Structures are given as structure tokens and as C-alpha cells.
């Protein structure tokens, strides 16, 4: 009986030892870089216990504006101090003298520190070039003057640029064949996502020293500087954004209390995005928990009367806009008395300026009688139904998209709607199933201002090495497909200008601006009720100066009541800001 018990205990002990050996093998040999369901890197953890380090650069690439100003990170010259200085005699008075602070301030900054610090935290003390040279010439162990990369406190174009995060599964999916730390940042949205292959870190630059169990130097007080072997990295993405214009746009959108919406400003000649603002603000603590991570300027929305520009183009080309023809603008699209608008008999030009619904409903039905796909064809000619962001071949990627978050627009959702006169009438005034993005509307205005030529919209000019040399440049590309003729574009230009100069035009508020404006308003019912009132999308889209077009601008306020949230003041103020910017530059 005793022998049997001994054998049982022996078996249990052997099994236990084997389990322990297997566990140790897993920890020490097998799962060293991805331990447990959380993917913990045990090698990194072991090293971190034996070292203290100060990361100088996280290794991920940066975004620049069109003149080279940083948009995400900036390099700040700072004083780095290591905590082992607390146990040494060192010439603190010389460092204090070099930067013009008291010895006490320096000593107090590292007192009780459990790792290296940047002097002046939380706001680091900025060193001059002379101060950096003076400190480094002292050659004091544990004292360094370096340029450290910090995130900008006031990030611009946050949804356009996007966010990053640690995601080991996504990292493996994208770069399975490459060796990256599991904590490497990857792009999750916006340009951070589309340009991730260029931006992903080659490794951190850091100051490191080794410590024992109580934090004392293990191999003396030598601090090593570690950096990636390739001096050309990290990469910079040079965007088309103008930081000054972007900042002015951000301030104006907030000033006018746009909670859901924003604006797009394009350079007409290059078709580059100069500024793009989306609200609500991005919540970096919970980016995917609300709408903040979505770039509303790239999402499809109901456009309202802005879409009448498409119907106008088709009507011009198909001979439906005779000067002698008039429309009863006391009636709605169904031929009944309109309780809100009594414009009387209007010709085509007056109808566009005053945004008469009846006129464009009638024209759309006449166009449908000729060809049910005419309106969709013209929406495509004005680039409202496809992608307008830059697309092309970049190295091994054939269909590289600068703006992967961009929605496609549409006019009709199905054949039934296309063949129904009531749905056609609603679609003509930008209602029912019509959906477009603010970027596409801005591009439509730029296309008309250029005389009909369609171009892809660029958000990025080039990818550059650290020394400024170009890795890849994004040329100006034409959008595929048919476009409107110069004659039609000229007619539309005059119509858009009439919206502003007509005494009762929907854009008459813009008469006195420093730049002459042409454009179109839009107010769309969303079908969503709030506080027992119908919500609306409010738009104004246009270009300026009218005589010599340079800028296309779209402003939009989404989901507001009809008697609040007007968008005209934002459009007007942005035109003024652009004018001031041009005078200053």
C-alpha cells in the first residue's frame, strides 16, 4: 500500500516537474517575444528591468506641411539628466551656469527620479544652440543636450492625418516577414494608415544605461546612444496642407460652433488640399468610440440644392434652358402651392440664383424622359460619384489611395428610384438617396472654375528622406472619365456668380467680401428628428476670386435645425482669412 502511494506521489512529482520544465521552456525559449494571450515580449521586459532609457525619437515618420513645417511632431532641444547623478559628485554649477538656472532647480528635478528626465518637465526647458554646445562640451556622464521629438500640443488636420496605435496582430498582417517590436506603432486611420509602410519605425533612438536590482549603475556610468543604422530614416511625408491656413480654418470652425461638419479648401491650379477640418474633434483616448475618428469631409452626406449644379449642367447641354422659358416658382416639386417660397415666374438663371425647387424638378424629369441615366452621367462628369483622391501606382502597389477613408457618392440607390418621377424630382434637389462628400463638392467647384478639367485631389506631395531628398513624388493626375465642356463650365460659372450678385440670390451675403465669390448653397432635410424638429445639412460651396479663380471652398454644418447653425458666416470668414493670408505672403 505504501509503495503504491509512493509511486502515485512520484508520478505526480514527475508530472509537476515536467509541467514546470515545459513552462520554463515556453518562457525562456519558445514564447519569448509573444507570451500569453496579450502577446507580451518577455525579452523586452527582461531588458527593461535591467536598463533605464530616454527615448529621443520613437522612430516613426513625421508629417510636414507644404513648406516643411511639422504637423505631428517637433524636435525640441532639451537637457537630459540621468538619476545616477544623485549619487555622484558632478559639476552641477557649470551646467546651471551654461543654461542660466539655479543649481537647486537642476538637483531638485532629478531628486527621487526613477529614470532619466528632460529638465523642465512637464514643459521641457528649451535650449539654444549655444547652450547645447556648452553642455555637451562639458562631457559629464549622465548629462546630455539633445534634440528630442515631442508631439505637438496643437495637432492640425487630425482626422486627415489619422491616428496610430499598438496592434501586434495588424503589424504581423502587414509586415509578417519583417522583424518589428510588438510595440511598434501602426497607422489605424487617415494618412497614417495609407502611408504606414513608409512611416513604420525602423527602431527608436535612445539613451540607455544598465542598472542592478536597486537601480545603481551595473557597468559603470557609461550611457550608450542607440539609434537605427540607416541615417535616412525616419521618413517624412510632405503634405499639401498649409499649416497657417489650416490653423485659421480650425479656429474659425470652432468659433462658429460647428459640432458636426467642417470645411475643405482646395488650390484650384494644383488641386491640392490646403486645409481640411472635420468635427467632432478626435478623442484620442477613445478614438473609435464616437464619430471623432471619421473625417466628415470624406464621408457621404445629403447635399441639398448644391446638387442642382449637376442638373443645371445637364440641362444646358440638352437645350432645356432657353432664355424665354419660365417656371412657376410659387409651387413645390409636386406642383402644389409652396408654403415657404413664393418667387413667382422665374427663368433658368433666376431659378438657380434663388434655388427654385420646382424648376430643377421639372428639368430632371425632362432629362429622364430623354435618358434615365443622364443625371448620373453628369454627376460623374463633375466627379461627384467616384473617388477624387489621388490614386495610382506607388512602387509595388498598383492602386495606392492617398485617402483610403474616402466614400464614393451616388445619385440613385436602385433602378426603381431612377425610373420614378417623384424620386427623380427629389434627387434633382439633392434629396432622397443622393449622397456626396464635401471633398467631391469642393472638387466639382474647382473643376468648373478651371473650365471643366478634372484632376485628382492630392493630400500629399511627396515622401522624403530625413535629408530632404525625394523617395517618391505624387504628380498631378487627371481623373478618368468624361468631363463637362469648356462651354458648359463657362455657363455654370456665370450661374454660380449670379447666386451672389442677384439681390435675392441665396449667396447675396458674400457681395462685400474682399474676394469676389461664385457658389451655391444647399439645405438638405436629413429625415432625422431632434427635439421634434427636422434636422438639416447646411452647405455653401464655391470658388474665388471669380475673375481669376485660385481657391475652391466648401463649408458644411451637419444635422442642425433649420433656424440655427447657419453656414454662411463660416464661409465668409474663411474667404476673409484667405485674403489676409495672401496679403501677408
CATH of the domain at 474: 3.40.710.10
pLDDT band for position 381 (cuts 50, 70, 90): very high
pLDDT (0 to 100) of residue 22: 59
Quick one: which of 322, 414, 319, 312 has its CA closest to 361? 312
Do 474 and 460 contact (CB within 8 A), yes or no?
Answer: yes
Q: CA Rg, the chain, in Å?
A: 31
Q: Are residues 139 and 265 in the same domain?
A: no
Q: Please check whether residue 151 is in contact with residue 115, taking contact to mean a CB–CB distance below 8 angstroms.
A: no
288 CB-near residues (< 8 Å, 6+ apart): none
Residues 183 and 56 in one domain: yes
pLDDT at 373: 96
Same domain, 339 and 259: yes
Cα-Cα end-to-end distance for the chain: 99
| Alpha-carbon separation of residue 431 from 263, 343, 523, 533 (angstroms) | 21, 21, 10, 18
The total of structural domains in the chain comes to 3
Same structural domain for residues 500 and 427? yes
CATH number at residue 213: 3.90.1310
Q: Is 143 helix (H, G, I), strand (E, B) or coil?
A: strand
| Domain annotation covers residue 464 | yes
Same domain? 341 vs 219: no
**Mean pLDDT of the residues in the chain:** 88
Which DSSP string corresponds to 560-579?
EETTS--SHHHHHHHHHHHH
Residues 105, 54 within the same domain? no
Q: Do residues 110 and 177 share a domain? A: no
- Mapped onto helix, strand or coil, the DSSP state of residue 469 is coil
The verdict on residue 2 lying in a domain is no
Confidence of residue 45 (pLDDT cuts 50, 70, 90): very low
Provide the pLDDT for residue 18: 74
User: Angle, nearest 10°, between helix axes 129-138 and 92-99?
Assistant: 170
Q: With respect to residue 16, please indicate whether it lies within any of the assigned structural domains.
A: no
Pick 84 or 289 by higher pLDDT: 84
CB atoms near residue 4 (< 10 Å): 8
- Rounded CA-CA distance 190/163 in Å is 7
pLDDT score for 178: 77
Q: Do 343 and 491 fall into the same domain?
A: yes
Residue of 209, 187, 205 lying closest to 48 (CA atoms): 209
Name the helix (H) or strand (E) containing 544.
Answer: strand 533-544
Dihedral of alpha carbons 280, 517, 481, 306, sign: positive
Whether residue 14 is predicted with pLDDT greater than 90 in this model: the reply is: no
Using CA atoms, how far residue 125 sits from 85, 155, 224, in Å, is 19, 21, 23
Domain assignment present for 191: yes
Contact between 308 and 375 (Cβ < 8 Å): no
Question: Is 12 among the domain residues?
Answer: no
54 inside domain: yes
From 126, 150, 174, the end of a domain falls on: 150
pLDDT at 59: 84
Do 143 and 247 share a domain, yes or no? no
Same domain for 103 and 63: no
How many CA atoms within 13 Å lie on the side-chain side of 286? 4
Mark out the alpha helices in 165-204 (DSSP H runs): 168-175, 190-194, 196-199
Of the candidates 232, 251, 304, the one whose C-alpha atom is nearest the C-alpha of residue 535 is 304
Q: Say if CB 346 and CB 398 are below 8 A apart.
A: no
pLDDT over 90 at 365, yes or no = yes
- Report the SS3 class of residue 449: helix
Euclidean distance between CA atoms 537 and 532, whole angstroms: 16
Per the model's pLDDT, the better-predicted residue between 466 and 9 turns out to be 466
Sign, CA dihedral 297-299-302-304, equals positive
**Domain limits at 106?**
75-150
What are the C-alpha distances in Å from 396 to residues 197, 314, 392, 399, 477? 12, 40, 11, 9, 19
Closest CA to 438 of 213, 292, 261, 256: 261
**Residue 196, class by beta-carbon neighbours within 10 Å (0-12 exposed, 13-18 middle, 19+ buried)?**
buried
What residues are labeled active site? 305
Q: For 145-165, how does the pLDDT look when each residue is reduced to its tens digit (9 = 90+)?
A: 999 998 888 888 999 999 998
Distance CA 218, CA 56 (A): 22
Task: Name the residue with higher pLDDT: 14 or 119.
Answer: 119
Closest Cα to residue 162, out of 71, 248, 76? 71
Asked, for residue 38, whether it belongs to a domain, the answer is: no
Q: Which of 222-226, 409-413, 529-533, 573-577 has the lowest mean pLDDT?
A: 222-226
Q: Is the peptide bond before 135 cis (omega within 30 degrees of 0)?
A: no
Cell of 233: 530614416
CA 88: distance to chain centroid?
49
**Same domain as 325, residue 219:** no
Q: Are the C-beta atoms of 241 and 276 separated by less than 8 Å?
A: yes
Confidence (pLDDT) at 2: 65
Which residue's entry shows cell 508631439?
A: 151
Length of the chain: 585
Query: Which CATH number does the domain housing residue 137 bear?
Result: 3.90.1310.10
Does one domain contain both 275 and 348?
yes
Is the Cβ–Cβ distance between 468 and 242 less than 8 Å? no
Helix (H) or strand (E) holding 161: helix 158-161
Q: Which residues of 513-529 are buried (b: 16+ CB within 10 A; e: fewer)?
A: bebbbbbbbbbbebeee
pLDDT at 42: 41
Report residue 15 as a C-alpha cell.
508530472
- 168-194: pLDDT as tens digits: 888 888 888 777 777 788 999 999 999
pLDDT in tens, 487-501: 999 999 999 999 999
Q: Which residue has the higher pLDDT, 6 or 88?
A: 88
pLDDT at 223 over 70: no
Classify residue 295: in a domain, yes or no.
Answer: no
Alpha-carbon span 460 to 193, nearest angstrom: 13
CA–CA distance, 578 with 311 (Å, rounded to integer): 30
State yes or no: pLDDT of 40 exceeds 50: no
Instruction: Tell me how far apart the alpha carbons of residues 211 and 188 are, in angstroms, rounded to a whole number.
Output: 36
Could you give the strand order of the β-sheet that contains 533-544, starting from the edge strand earlier in sequence? 272-279, 261-267, 551-561, 533-544, 518-530
| Residues with Cβ within 8 Å of residue 523, at least 6 apart in sequence | 304, 305, 536, 537, 538, 539, 562
Could you tell me whether strands 62-64 and 236-239 are parallel, antiparallel, or unpaired per DSSP bridges? Answer: parallel
Q: Is the pLDDT at 231 greater than 80, yes or no?
A: no
Selected residue with higher pLDDT from 289 and 351: 351
Residue reference for cell 413645390: 332
Amino acid at each position: 500500500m505504501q509503495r503504491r502511494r509512493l509511486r502515485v506521489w512520484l508520478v505526480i512529482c514527475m508530472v509537476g516537474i515536467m509541467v514546470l520544465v515545459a513552462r520554463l521552456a515556453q518562457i525562456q525559449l519558445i514564447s519569448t517575444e509573444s507570451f500569453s494571450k496579450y502577446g507580451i515580449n518577455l525579452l523586452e521586459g527582461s531588458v527593461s528591468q535591467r536598463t533605464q532609457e530616454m527615448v529621443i525619437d520613437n522612430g516613426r515618420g513625421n508629417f510636414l506641411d507644404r513648406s516643411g513645417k511639422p504637423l505631428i511632431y517637433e524636435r525640441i532641444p532639451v537637457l537630459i539628466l540621468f538619476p545616477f547623478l544623485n549619487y555622484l559628485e558632478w559639476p552641477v554649477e557649470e551646467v546651471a551656469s551654461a543654461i542660466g538656472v539655479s543649481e537647486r532647480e537642476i538637483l531638485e528635478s532629478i531628486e527621487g527620479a526613477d529614470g532619466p528626465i528632460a529638465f523642465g518637465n512637464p514643459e521641457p526647458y528649451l535650449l539654444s544652440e549655444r547652450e547645447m554646445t556648452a553642455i555637451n562640451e562639458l562631457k559629464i556622464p549622465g548629462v546630455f543636450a539633445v534634440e528630442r521629438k515631442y508631439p505637438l500640443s496643437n495637432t492640425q488636420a487630425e482626422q486627415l492625418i489619422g491616428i496610430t496605435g499598438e496592434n501586434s496582430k495588424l503589424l504581423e498582417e502587414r509586415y509578417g516577414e519583417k522583424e518589428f517590436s510588438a510595440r511598434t506603432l501602426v497607422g489605424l486611420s487617415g494618412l497614417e494608415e495609407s502611408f504606414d509602410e513608409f512611416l513604420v519605425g525602423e527602431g527608436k533612438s535612445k539613451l540607455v544605461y544598465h542598472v542592478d536590482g536597486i537601480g545603481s549603475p551595473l557597468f559603470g556610468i557609461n550611457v550608450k546612444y542607440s539609434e537605427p543604422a540607416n541615417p535616412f530614416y525616419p521618413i517624412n511625408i510632405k503634405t499639401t496642407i498649409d499649416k497657417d491656413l489650416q490653423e485659421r480654418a480650425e479656429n474659425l470652425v470652432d468659433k462658429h460652433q460647428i459640432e458636426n461638419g467642417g470645411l475643405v479648401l482646395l488650390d484650384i491650379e494644383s488641386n491640392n488640399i490646403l486645409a481640411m477640418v472635420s468635427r467632432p474633434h478626435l478623442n484620442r483616448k477613445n478614438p473609435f468610440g464616437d464619430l471623432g475618428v471619421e473625417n466628415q469631409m470624406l464621408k457621404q452626406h445629403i447635399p441639398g440644392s448644391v446638387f442642382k449644379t449637376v442638373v443645371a449642367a445637364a440641362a444646358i447641354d440638352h437645350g432645356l434652358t432657353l432664355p424665354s422659358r419660365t417656371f412657376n416658382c410659387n409651387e413645390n416639386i409636386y406642383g402644389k402651392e409652396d408654403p415657404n417660397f413664393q418667387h413667382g415666374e422665374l427663368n433658368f438663371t433666376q431659378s438657380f440664383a434663388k434655388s427654385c425647387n420646382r424648376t430643377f424638378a421639372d428639368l430632371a424629369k425632362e432629362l429622364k424622359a430623354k435618358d434615365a441615366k443622364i443625371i448620373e452621367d453628369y454627376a460623374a462628369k463633375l466627379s461627384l460619384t467616384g473617388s477624387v483622391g489621388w490614386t495610382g501606382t506607388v512602387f509595388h502597389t498598383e492602386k495606392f489611395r492617398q485617402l483610403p477613408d474616402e466614400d464614393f457618392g451616388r445619385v440613385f440607390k436602385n433602378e426603381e428610384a431612377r425610373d420614378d418621377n417623384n424620386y427623380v424630382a427629389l434627387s434633382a434637389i439633392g434629396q432622397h438617396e443622393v449622397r456626396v462628400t464635401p471633398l467631391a463638392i469642393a472638387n466639382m467647384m474647382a473643376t468648373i472654375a478651371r473650365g471643366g478639367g478634372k484632376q485628382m485631389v492630392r493630400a500629399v506631395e511627396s515622401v522624403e528622406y530625413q535629408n530632404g531628398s525625394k523617395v517618391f513624388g505624387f504628380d498631378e493626375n487627371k481623373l478618368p472619365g468624361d468631363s463637362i465642356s469648356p462651354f458648359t463650365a463657362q455657363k455654370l460659372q456665370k450661374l454660380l456668380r449670379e447666386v451672389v450678385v442677384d439681390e435675392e440670390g441665396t449667396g447675396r451675403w458674400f457681395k462685400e467680401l474682399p474676394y469676389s465669390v461664385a457658389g451655391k448653397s444647399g439645405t438638405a432635410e436629413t429625415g432625422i428628428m431632434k427635439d421634434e424638429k427636422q434636422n438639416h445639412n447646411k452647405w455653401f460651396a464655391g470658388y474665388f476670386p471669380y475673375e481669376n479663380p485660385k481657391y475652391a471652398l466648401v463649408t458644411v454644418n451637419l444635422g442642425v435645425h433649420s433656424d440655427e447653425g447657419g453656414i454662411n458666416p463660416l464661409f465668409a470668414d474663411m474667404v476673409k482669412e484667405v485674403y489676409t493670408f495672401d496679403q501677408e505672403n
